[in-house]
Chain A
């Protein structure tokens, strides 16, 4: 079954062409697809076009068989698409609990209720409690979210992404800014927590990328230069050149 289909997608900012005629497909059965590529390859722009934050210059995005190229982002989430951000993007004046409640409420029929108090919607608290306990942040539920550590905030970023129970989740560098061991730990949490969700992950840390991936797509200067199983990518000399080229060239 089709999950996400990208056809001839391109995106330009003025004269700068960031995505050039990208095409690929992710079947719903595929669970772990990792996108790698050097800085400026267009990875985040690709995510923005898929989630609907940026309109593509050309091409189409199809989600579960529906053309969503011109659909606003919030409607794409209703179809089962969610995302997280590379730079942690929470609600800074809310507590941890309030952040989660807002995320759970987004897909609940009560979201337009303006008379009944938030406290009367116990089922939202139950969902938030379950997730917080699962990820061992329950003790910190009443903390202002900005008082959490960077690693915890990355975890909250992930929680906001999964609150709507998506079928496809776009993770934009989930381990950004974490130490090596924290990154490995978070990758483990992701593996464990999101067994049945199709994940499209942008990852810079090659160790984590190869550990998570069933399939790797390599992006370079807005084009797909390789797409295949991790072992194929590892053996690909061209990719070594790209990475070595950007590092030492």
Chain B
């Protein structure tokens, strides 16, 4: 019974988002750009949420996968002249899978705080490698610019803001659908079991390492997809995309939006990107305000925006049953 209500709630929420998302291109150009940016960021935060919110692995290295995929697109399209989207997608995902498969084996040997520190260290190593030894390929601090919009090889053009927005919307919807399915599946249940009580999961007979490893690689793939879209969207990639600060931002957006919930990452990306856009037009102290918002959320709204919305829904429906 609760399952059906839950499903209906999810469907209604998805429909609301969907309806809103479809009319966005009717808004002014800057709003379309902002919405595209929010969608891309929400995919990235979702990837971190899969790892942290659902499986309990706090990583400070999620930007590795976002940035690597962005660089694959930048390097291959600008410097090697390869424009086909599907080919770039294949290469970017292979790169991301290889990196995450390698880092995952090492990082998942340790737990909790140590896992976070190891992922942080990996993030820093990758950032340094992109900055210095690979400067010849990545152009270091300067980054790579003039990345063209994706070429799907079909008769669909993605050059206008609205067209590209719809393209991102479709991919974001697929990513959210996938995460929704995973979290309802036996695999997702096991992820949450590991988050809540790994000790007991081992005793029950789960190979918890394998679950965490698969989740780590999956979350890297989703972060990679977001990073690719970002490279196309922004047209410019620099080492900041690999920096651990951007991994930290993912955690922050997750907390603001609602950790361990399906829509939390979208709320978080919306609040974070939207507020940054709005506040930074008044003051240059955006980071300070961001910090204050974060502290307030952690202190007073543990469930983030998603938790607040769910609480309101509960209160409203509770009031209705009383009548």
Q: How far is the CA of A110 from the CA of B197 in the complex (A)?
A: 20
> CB distance A119 to B3 under 8 Å?
yes
Majority secondary structure of chain B interface residues (helix, strand, loop or mixed): helix
Q: How far is the CB of A160 from chain B (nearest CB, A)?
A: 7
Given A78-B205, A101-B189, A118-B189, the answer on whether A89 and B184 have CB atoms closer than 8 Å is no
**Which of A75, A82, A102, A116 lies in contact with B185, CB distance below 8 A?**
A116
Residues of chain A with a CB closer than 8 A to B3's CB: 119
> CB distance B206 to A74 under 8 Å?
yes
> CB distance A142 to B2 under 8 Å?
yes
Residues of chain B with a CB closer than 8 A to A92's CB: 196-197
Number of interface residues of A (CB under 8 A): 40
Residues of chain A with a CB closer than 8 A to B181's CB: 114-115, 117
Given A89-B200, A114-B181, A115-B181, the answer on whether A102 and B205 have CB atoms closer than 8 Å is no
Residues 14-32 of A, flagged 1 when their CB comes within 8 A of B and 0 if not, give 0000000000000000000
> CB distance A94 to B196 under 8 Å?
yes
A-contacting residues, B183-201, CB 8 Å: 184-190, 192-193, 196-197, 199-201
> CB distance A74 to B202 under 8 Å?
yes
Number of interface residues of B (CB under 8 A): 26
Q: How far is the CA of A75 from the CA of B223 in the complex (A)?
A: 32
> CB distance B207 to A74 under 8 Å?
yes
> CB distance A121 to B186 under 8 Å?
yes
Q: How far is the CB of A97 from chain B (nearest CB, A)?
A: 11
Q: Does A129 contact B (CB under 8 A)?
A: no
Residues of chain B with a CB closer than 8 A to A111's CB: 186-187, 190, 206
- Tell me how many residue pairs across A and B have CB atoms closer than 8 Å: 96
Q: How far is the CB of B42 from chain A (nearest CB, A)?
A: 21
Q: Does A103 contact B (CB under 8 A)?
A: yes
Most chain A CB within 10 A, of B181, B185, B190, B208, is at B185
Q: How far is the CB of B144 from chain A (nearest CB, A)?
A: 35
Most chain B CB within 10 A, of A85, A94, A102, A108, is at A102
> CB distance B186 to A160 under 8 Å?
no
Residues of chain B with a CB closer than 8 A to A89's CB: 197, 199-200, 203
Q: Does B182 contact A (CB under 8 A)?
A: yes
Q: Does A60 contact B (CB under 8 A)?
A: no
> CB distance B186 to A110 under 8 Å?
yes
Q: What 7 additional pairs, Cβ within 8 angstroms, besides A85-B200, A102-B189, A114-B182?
A: A91-B193, A93-B192, A111-B190, A113-B185, A119-B184, A121-B186, A164-B204
Residues of A within 8 A of B (CB): 51, 53, 72-75, 77-78, 82-83, 85, 89-94, 98, 101-103, 105-108, 110-119, 121, 142, 160, 163-164
Residues of B within 8 A of A (CB): 2-3, 181-182, 184-190, 192-193, 196-197, 199-208, 214
Give 25 A-B contacts (CB < 8 Å), ordered by A residue: A53-B203, A74-B202, A75-B207, A77-B203, A78-B205, A82-B203, A85-B203, A89-B197, A89-B199, A90-B197, A90-B200, A102-B189, A102-B204, A103-B204, A105-B189, A105-B190, A106-B204, A112-B186, A112-B187, A113-B186, A115-B181, A118-B188, A118-B189, A119-B3, A142-B2
